[in-house]
Structure 1
Amino acid sequence: MNQLDIEGAAGLSVRGARQVPGATQAYDKLVSDGVAAKLLDKDPTLWGPAAEAESKIRLGWVDTHRRSRELVPRLAELRKELTARGLDHVVLAGMGGSSLAPEVITATLGVALTILDTTDPHQIRRALGDRLSRTVVVVASKSGSTVETDSHRRAYLTAFEDAGLDNIGGRFVVITDPGSPFEGTAREMGAHVVLADPEVGGRYSALTAFGLVPSALAGVNIAELLDQAEEFYASLGGDTGNPALALGAALGAAALSGRDKVALISDGTGITGLGDWAEQLIAESTGKDGRGILPVVVETPTSPGAIGSDVLTVTYGGSLGPDAVPGGGVTPHLAVNGPLGAQFLAWEFATAIAGRVIGINPFDQPNVAESKENTNRILENGLPSSQPSFTEGAIEVYTSGSATTVFDAVHELVTAAEPGGYVAVMAYLDRIGDAAAADVRPAIAAQTGRSVTFGWGPRFLHSTGQYHKGGPQEGAFLQITGVVTDDLPVPGRPFTFGELIAAQAGGDRQALSGRHRPLLHLHLTDRSAGIAQLVKALQKG
């Protein structure tokens, strides 16, 4: 990386952007078209006539941090009120953009926050059994119709009632859009209601109530994040000294020149988990119309998948000395370093810019509903019956191929992906109790040299799920499900959490099969043993 190639503002720097093939030309074209200033003015025409109507109601994120200022004293007072009642254990029920930003904020700043972004009954039972009498539940949903968060709300409501706790409604804080059906439900419950910015989509909502309410209640000084964003905001309209514009030009130009995978790697300098948040932002914003940028979250700078001929390697962090080589183990194409509040705004701006460069609407998600609709049909009619192709140890294998071992079945899947394609590992498991399943990603990447993503189901359906269906149809998909040994009913619904997660996995299989994508389903009859068996087979292979 050319260390002189640095764009910086307000403590945030982007290094290497000018060295990406085509990025200088893309940047110059953006400047000649006045795109930065137009975006700062929320011009909905920037992505073409077809995107104009959606863009017109989705550009509030550009300056939402200013409107979020009014939340600071209100949330400080609410936290004081809740802690006075002994409610100091904050649980966030949210999916996609509603949970990923608070997770980054609290993890980076060392503040405890329990996050429920799953329908796995084991993970939910564990949360319900943790300090229930001291728990305040933040339920985050723009509409309130999200099945996962509605189910979490119902489970906690029943748990509070069964425990005989007082003022149950006051143990909930609901974040939703003004006028949504959920607002009425929340007020009927007697919950604390915080209305979000209605002109900001979920994945761009880090600096709205969705990102800030759970973080503040958990103990984060959110005013500092807003200060960082405000300071960085001053750079966004400029044609020079605009690192977000440089980042967006580089992301878009790289995708057009063949580096359409972006490896996102923490450089270890102070920001935790930003890759997962940026993954959902980039994948859901760009993966449509057969085009897109595939983000690949890589565990460390030395993990498999950090580099490749079709990969743009990007490291991120909070701070970095001027003479240091970003990444520690890999020399990235781009390094993005700076305070967290500025990082959120920079990546949002850059993603919108990249959408213009590659020619898509970065604000819609036309394929997200498909798996949801399939899930609802399965919940009504049941899963189609099927028998495993074979069983090996603790793993049932469902494949259309001729493999007779788990390793061979995975090998068949990977080789079925197109040249330049990717492998997506989708684990419908307990991401705490079954955390070792994440080792499958680097194991496959090391064996194959391909880009391999990893997502916890059903949370990835609200992010990379859009890319899987709407992006380039070149992926191969490994779905992992597990036996449910301690199911949990969803109060007021004719299904359990175990049935719901099975339906979500089945619905996603149907969506992918309908596109004739290579698909391998592994079902673990013993989760711990099955994960260990799978990882061992892949690493040994």
Structure 2
Amino acid sequence: MNPLKQLAETGQAPWLDFVQRELIEGGDLAMMIKRDGLKGVTSNPSIFEKAIAHAPEYTKEFERYVHSGDHEPMAIYEHLAIGDIKAAADVLLPVYHETKGRDGYISLEVSPYLALDTEATVNEARRLHKAVGKPNLMVKVPATNAGIPAIRTLIGEGISINVTLLFAVPVYEQVARAYIEGLEHFASKGGDISKIGSVASFFVSRIDNVIDKQLQDKIDAGGDAAALKPLLGKAAIANAKVAYAAYKKWFSGAKWQALEAKGAHTQRLLWASTSVKNPAYPDTLYVETLIGRDTVNTMPPATMDAFRDHGKATPDAVEQDLAGGIDILKSLETHGISLEKVTIDLVADGVRQFANAFDQLLGAVAKKRTALIDLNGAEIEADAALHAAIEKTAKRWLAEGTIRKLWAGDKSVWTGTDEDKWLGWLTIVGEEHTHVATLERFAKAIREGGFKHVALLGMGGSSLGPEVLARSFGHRDGWPEFHMLDSTDPAQIATLESKLDLKTTMFIVSSKSGSTLEPNIFLAYFKARMIETVGQGDWARHFTAVTDPGSAMEHVAKHDHFAHLFHGVKSIGGRYSVLSKFGLVPAAAMGIDVANFLALTSHMVKSCSASVPVDQNPGAQLGLLLGVAAKEFKRDKVTIIASPKIADLGAWLEQLIAESTGKQGHGLVPIDAEPLGDAAVYGHDRVFAYLCLKGDEQAKQAAHVAALAKAGHPVVRITVNDVAQIGQEFFRWEMATAIAGAIIGINPFDQPDVEASKIKTRALTDAYEKGGSAPHDEPLFHEHGVAIFADPKNAAALGTHTTLAAYLKQHFNRADAGDYIAILAYIERNGSHMAALEQIRTHLRNTRKVATCLGFGPRFLHSTGQAYKGGPNSGVFLQITTDDAKDIPVPGHAYSFSQVKAAQAEGDLSVLVERDRRVIRVHFQNVQHGLEALHKAIIHAYH
């Protein structure tokens, strides 16, 4: 009989602290039960990390599970781990039956991330108990302050528990009390308490590790070596002896005997952490000295092999010289070593170590999963200082579990205001995929309804996402042509209408709140036009509404019997809504395979999930780069470079980044569609994001980006594998923006300064409605149909000049290093106007060497307008307005579209002035002439 098997004669059960598939499938576990008298198995995150991450026997099952339907790392780990636990439980089941439920258990640990949350621990333990479904499972719960009440609750529900991370005798006594109270509760409900098993895992060697170091430090510092040296390697065993004495006290007497009569098992002490860490000590030290009746010793394989080879099974060793053990503990206190503090620290450290092991496990699973799925890749190139700062922040986020908090809706990740109410975008992809049949039916109705055009009427988040999809995917054969209106400029409206055959057009009116000015007046206009075209009885079949439940737009759609009505999600803000109905309804109408699009997007969602550690999490990595670069290195200009086919992604990113982060004087300023330039024209205030679509690579872009990286600018290169995977970038950047906002210290889900501009616009349109006229200011300068306007403070800063060029030079010279120039053009957004303004911004960028932005109003008001007004005061603004050649009245109102646009421009300008921004307005009598004059003046100013 080998020494391991002899332990049974002493009353102690040997358990194995290790589990791996090969051990089970290869028959070694069954052999150890027979040969060594093995009675049970324990596991923990460290054990599973070594097994799943490194053992080759998991590879095929890993691949099979991922390919059966993508899963996030936590689900993959649980699938594999629970498979092992079930298989091991089956091997151990005869032991369980032979010992009548006393032994034959295998343990599965509740996530160590939940160690400080009672309710979450209880729910997780219930879930694991049900998922494994074996009578000989013990769910492992830590003996933290939050864990102890969970233990009582779970025992009271008839769930067997392995209590882990026990170091202190007083805490053990709390655990014993919780166990007994749980048994009493379960018995009171008529439960069979003979079916409940429990062990209290009392850790050993870790105590010696800490106390030996403290003793040695005292000796090295000149302490009483003669008194201190005999205490080395003695504290852990002494502590265990006292714990065993407490065990005997708790499980004796009338109260316990009453439970025992009903079949209750004692909650045995299980000696854990029994491998020797100090090579000077015998390798079987924590086995031979802790043998005792009704105890368990769980040994790692090496310790078990050592005891089998040369161990000595001395009965009742743990009860020998209890008084001597107590004296050792008293002596430690006398010499200034607090066992209480050591054990408190060890619990905290144990939780941290298990969490770290879980991080490593999930990180390894995430890495293996990424290699098996079609995920857009990203590479970050930055200097050593920025990399170090990112790594430092990443370590803090990992230690604090910030990504898990974010997914849990913990608003303390940000400012602690109302962020928890705006996180519906985190789960919307899965929800929409589950109900994708609704969108597929809508797509069929559009295709079979004879519609040749689909026109989206919206603003900001309701329009920019669908525009990206339309431009990126292109027109699809057999499907309607997609159009979009997000401007009150009369020429823009007329241009759209000229492209439409109203009889074959479906309008999608998109508005979250249903009260946004622009979609409502767009609806009013095209409703009137449609009635003129198809008649009063048939116009509504040409309209679809996408809006939040309960909105004014929902009321209109129902009252007027729109052909279709789709609901958004109230907990998703407009700029985060592209993966909800606001983006997916237009996508379905233009013939995009929405089911496939969502399936591909879900790869990124799961890659950014709560169970993916920061260093493997693509959204977190990008967010840390943006946030840290801005906060610690003043690189707050995010310059977007994209392949031509996905270039419109930049406009969507502008809104997401600017409106989310630009507030309270902080934030990121996105720079989209800025023409490429030499590295020398860029300041040290930028981060560059290069989004390259496979098959659409541009050598000039790639060379430009390489030159920027070589010059020392931070660059993130993102490879979009296919246009169908653009949804992955929607989610990556949503996550990154939310994370960057957390680092910067703002709420990324509100837009206070956009609202300020809307209020002023509303006041002016209300005045027009009542017969009022537009405000009239005197220009500072007027020449050949071009006039300059400025408020008194900005006018004083400009001085008095005799030419347009001189005024513009004085104004733009106010842009210093780290500033940016923004051109805000309230004119039709078309190819010729964009080309003319791009020439101007490029010249300004090259001469002033500052970042430049170009926005068309009122479109940008729902996008970058937030950052311009609420972000850092680093912008120098040029607003452009014009006399409209033709105006269009708004049906049902006293004002026209031209007046609305003018009110929006005035509201925009007045808020910029209130925010003490450097801004002037240039007004054209004729757009084409004005743009030519402006370009000539800029060239002249900076020749």
Deviations 1:327-383 (A, max 9, x none): 332335211223311101100000111111111111111111111111122221533
**Structure 2 contact 378–718 (Cα < 8 Å) conserved:** yes
Deviations 1:208-227 (A, max 9, x none): 01111112102222222211
CA displacement at 1:16 relative to structure 2: 1.5
Residue 372 in structure 1 maps to residue 738 in structure 2: no
Does 327-336 or 275-284 show the bigger shift?
327-336
- Which residue of 1 is the match for residue 519 of structure 2? 149
Q: Give 1:506-521 correspondences, 5 Å limit.
A: 506-521=906-921
**Structure 2 contact 659–863 (Cα < 8 Å) conserved:** yes
Deviations 1:506-531 (A, max 9, x none): 11111111223221111111111211
Structure 1 538/208 Cα, relative in aligned 2: closer, same or farther at 3 Å?
Answer: same
Structure 1 distance, partners of 2:884, 2:680, is 32
SS in 2 for 1:529: helix
CA displacement at 1:66 relative to structure 2: 1.2
CA displacement at 1:70 relative to structure 2: 4.9
- Which residue of 2 is the match for residue 183 of structure 1? 554
Note the residue ranges of structure 2 that are not aligned, 5 or more in a row: 1-366, 476-480, 710-714
Residue 276 in structure 1 maps to residue 651 in structure 2: yes
| Match of residue 334, structure 1, among 706, 711, 716 | 716
SS in 2 for 1:113: strand
Note the residue ranges of structure 1 that are not aligned, 5 or more in a row: 1-6
Q: Give 1:54-453 correspondences, 5 Å limit.
A: 54-70=418-434, 72-111=436-475, 112-129=481-498, 130-165=500-535, 167-191=538-562, 192-236=564-608, 237=610, 238-239=612-613, 240-256=615-631, 257-268=633-644, 270-302=645-677, 307-319=682-694, 327-331=702-706, 332=709, 333-338=715-720, 339-379=725-765, 380=767, 381-399=772-790, 400=795, 401=798, 402-417=800-815, 419-432=817-830, 434-439=833-838, 440-453=840-853
Structure 2 distance, partners of 1:450, 1:393, is 30
Q: Give 1:13-32 correspondences, 5 Å limit.
A: 13-16=377-380, 19=383, 20-21=386-387, 22-32=389-399
| Match of residue 468, structure 1, among 862, 868, 890 | 868
- Which residue of 1 is the match for residue 27 of structure 2? none
**Structure 1 contact 443–535 (Cα < 8 Å) conserved:** no
Structure 1 496/286 Cα, relative in aligned 2: closer, same or farther at 3 Å?
Answer: same
Structure 2 distance, partners of 1:221, 1:405, is 56
**Structure 1 contact 66–230 (Cα < 8 Å) conserved:** yes
Structure 1 85/429 Cα, relative in aligned 2: closer, same or farther at 3 Å?
Answer: same
**Structure 2 contact 678–704 (Cα < 8 Å) conserved:** no
Does 466-475 or 20-29 show the bigger shift?
20-29
CA displacement at 1:396 relative to structure 2: 1.9
Aligned-partner residue type, residue 147 of structure 1: L
Does 191-200 or 234-243 show the bigger shift?
234-243
Structure 1 232/217 Cα, relative in aligned 2: closer, same or farther at 3 Å?
Answer: same
CA displacement at 1:26 relative to structure 2: 1.9
CA displacement at 1:304 relative to structure 2: 8.7
**Structure 1 contact 436–531 (Cα < 8 Å) conserved:** no
CA displacement at 1:470 relative to structure 2: 1.1
Aligned-partner residue type, residue 837 of structure 2: A
**Structure 1 contact 298–306 (Cα < 8 Å) conserved:** no
- Which residue of 1 is the match for residue 892 of structure 2? 492
Does 238-247 or 252-261 show the bigger shift?
238-247
RMSD between aligned alpha carbons? 2.3
Structure 1 distance, partners of 2:379, 2:598, is 24
SS in 2 for 1:118: coil
CA displacement at 1:25 relative to structure 2: 1.6
SS in 1 for 2:821: strand
Structure 1 342/135 Cα, relative in aligned 2: closer, same or farther at 3 Å?
Answer: same
CA displacement at 1:532 relative to structure 2: 2.4
- Which residue of 1 is the match for residue 205 of structure 2? none
Structure 2 distance, partners of 1:170, 1:315, is 43
Structure 1 distance, partners of 2:605, 2:681, is 30
Structure 1 210/170 Cα, relative in aligned 2: closer, same or farther at 3 Å?
Answer: same
Does 366-375 or 244-253 show the bigger shift?
366-375
Q: Give the structure with higher Rg (CA).
A: 2
Structure 2 distance, partners of 1:215, 1:176, is 16
**Structure 1 contact 427–437 (Cα < 8 Å) conserved:** no
CA displacement at 1:28 relative to structure 2: 1.9
Deviations 1:73-93 (A, max 9, x none): 223322332333322201111
Structure 2 distance, partners of 1:468, 1:94, is 22
Does 69-78 or 216-225 show the bigger shift?
69-78
Structure 1 71/492 Cα, relative in aligned 2: closer, same or farther at 3 Å?
Answer: farther
Residue 457 in structure 1 maps to residue 857 in structure 2: yes
- Which residue of 2 is the match for residue 524 of structure 1? 924
CA displacement at 1:174 relative to structure 2: 0.4
**Structure 1 contact 94–139 (Cα < 8 Å) conserved:** yes
SS in 2 for 1:480: strand
**Structure 2 contact 489–828 (Cα < 8 Å) conserved:** yes
How many residues in Structure 1 have an aligned counterpart in Structure 2? 530
Structure 1 304/162 Cα, relative in aligned 2: closer, same or farther at 3 Å?
Answer: farther
Structure 2 distance, partners of 1:404, 1:139, is 48
Structure 2 distance, partners of 1:415, 1:92, is 40
Residue 48 in structure 1 maps to residue 415 in structure 2: yes
Q: Which has the higher contact order (CA 8 A, sep 6+)?
A: 1
SS in 2 for 1:362: coil
Q: Which protein is richer in helix relative to its size?
A: 2
- Which residue of 2 is the match for residue 39 of structure 1? 406
Does 406-415 or 348-357 show the bigger shift?
406-415
CA displacement at 1:426 relative to structure 2: 0.4
**Structure 2 contact 640–671 (Cα < 8 Å) conserved:** yes
Does 472-481 or 435-444 show the bigger shift?
435-444
Deviations 1:446-475 (A, max 9, x none): 221111111110111111111111111221
CA displacement at 1:56 relative to structure 2: 1.7
SS in 1 for 2:616: coil
Deviations 1:158-213 (A, max 9, x none): 00112234521111110000111211111111111000122110011110011111
CA displacement at 1:436 relative to structure 2: 3.3
**Structure 1 contact 18–24 (Cα < 8 Å) conserved:** no
Identity, % of aligned pairs?
Answer: 35
**Structure 1 contact 249–354 (Cα < 8 Å) conserved:** yes
Give me the TM-score of the superposition, normalised by structure 2.
0.54
- Which residue of 2 is the match for residue 538 of structure 1? 938
- Which residue of 2 is the match for residue 4 of structure 1? none
Structure 1 distance, partners of 2:824, 2:431, is 37
**Structure 1 contact 266–301 (Cα < 8 Å) conserved:** no
**Structure 1 contact 266–327 (Cα < 8 Å) conserved:** no
CA displacement at 1:67 relative to structure 2: 1.4
Structure 1 distance, partners of 2:774, 2:813, is 29
Aligned-partner residue type, residue 393 of structure 2: A
Structure 1 495/523 Cα, relative in aligned 2: closer, same or farther at 3 Å?
Answer: same
Does 64-73 or 134-143 show the bigger shift?
64-73
CA displacement at 1:321 relative to structure 2: 11
SS in 1 for 2:596: helix
Structure 2 distance, partners of 1:92, 1:305, is 41
